Amino acid sequence: MSDTSRLPVSGLLALAMTGFIAIMTETLPAGLLPQISSGLGVSASMTGQMVTLYALGSLVAAIPLTVATRGWRRRRALLASVLGFLLFNTLTTFSTDYSLTLVARFFAGASAGLAWGLIAGYARRMVEPALQGKAMTLAMIGTPLALSLGVPLGTWFGSLVGWRTAFGLMSAMTLLLTVWILLKVPDFPGESRQKQRSLYQVWQLPGVRSVLWVIFTWITAHNILYTYIVPFLARSGLAGQVDKMLLLFGLSAMLGIGLTGWLVDRWLRRTVLSSLVLFALTCLAFGGLGASASVLYLGIFVWGLTFGGAATLLQTASADAAGDSADIAQSMIVVAWNLAIAGGGIAGGVLLKTQGVSSFPWVMLLLLVLSLAIVLRAKSNGFTPGSRMAESTEKADC
């Protein structure tokens, strides 16, 4: 048995590495679009569907695969998702057929859907209730690292040695991760049949739907701006500083994760409300003073700070609400999150074409007000006040 009274850093970092590889696998084609397009002999727009098929795989497979594997021992399920990355990234590395590459990308996305359904619940089981928030923070750190550092480094590396070698490197990293998991990640039994709830029963649990609606509104607001950050900055003559802005966003998101790890177990509700309020105030500043470079830099810093801990906060709230069915609830989060990404992209595109970028902050503000209203209403379930440590301990003793 593992010692759950302290953070098993190595095991949690293995989970973080799983998330890092999932994000890198998803986003790598976007940074290497011209090289992949030339290598496969297809247009850039068709090459872009490699990202679409990955996202579709995650969206479609997250819930079914999590449900299908919930009786498996946890390490076996985690290794199944990681070996999926190994197999399908290797297939992408050597494939010369566009259709086969798309199939590989879909199933790589399905592997990610399973991984995202497992990581949060796995991290919680590795520690006692008082450390669950910190454990999830550490387990989720791979995502901002991949977005802020891994993606530009992967693009740079791929441009030097070729896109196939970049995907081959992902396979090699996954092989090392497999060994790491076997050595450092403790195993746990799956969910017993007696405790297994149906998908509908999990959906009906008090608090679960509130968390999902907050995810959808909050992340849609985020992605309206994040997807179309270039045209938004262009109106202020800062399109050439997108790389600096995104780096600032990534660094502030890392800081946000650190702060969340310190706050989540004692003040989850207050931290969620504070994050939403600060993001809403940032939207107000962007709407009223968005032409100012200093306002944009400060706003992007605050935006990143509030977004960095969002995944930890929302996954912790969901897992607390779902109890023994946390993995199923997490798979619902994968679906809600991906729908929000798609929704933000679609809404931002429509707004860009019909109203212009000046409309972004006001639509985002409306979505954040809806998020705040849901959190304020979900005081009894989902986003409860006070320390979650005492509540989690009570549930564990029941």
Q: 261: part of which helix (H) or strand (E)?
A: helix 242-289
pLDDT for 394 equals 46
CATH fourth-level superfamily of 9-184: MFS general substrate transporter like domains (1.20.1250.20)
143, 17 contact by CB (below 8 A):
no
pLDDT for 2 equals 56
What CA–CA distance (Å, rounded) separates 337 from 286?
24
pTM of the model: 0.80
Where does the pLDDT of residue 230 fall: very low under 50, low under 70, confident under 90, or very high at 90 and above?
confident
pLDDT for 194 equals 63
Second CATH level (architecture) for the domain 199-391 = Up-down Bundle (1.20)
pLDDT for 166 equals 92
Alpha-helical regions (H) of the chain: 9-31, 33-40, 44-47, 49-68, 74-94, 98-125, 132-139, 142-145, 151-161, 163-184, 199-204, 208-227, 229-234, 242-289, 293-308, 310-322, 326-354, 360-377, 388-397
Specify the DSSP class assigned to residue 196: P
Where are the chain's structural domains? 9-184, 199-391
pLDDT higher than 80, residue 256: yes
Mean pLDDT of 228-241: 83
Identify which of 214, 167, 180, 207 has the alpha carbon closest to the alpha carbon of residue 32: 167
Identify which of 299, 7, 27 has the alpha carbon closest to the alpha carbon of residue 137: 7
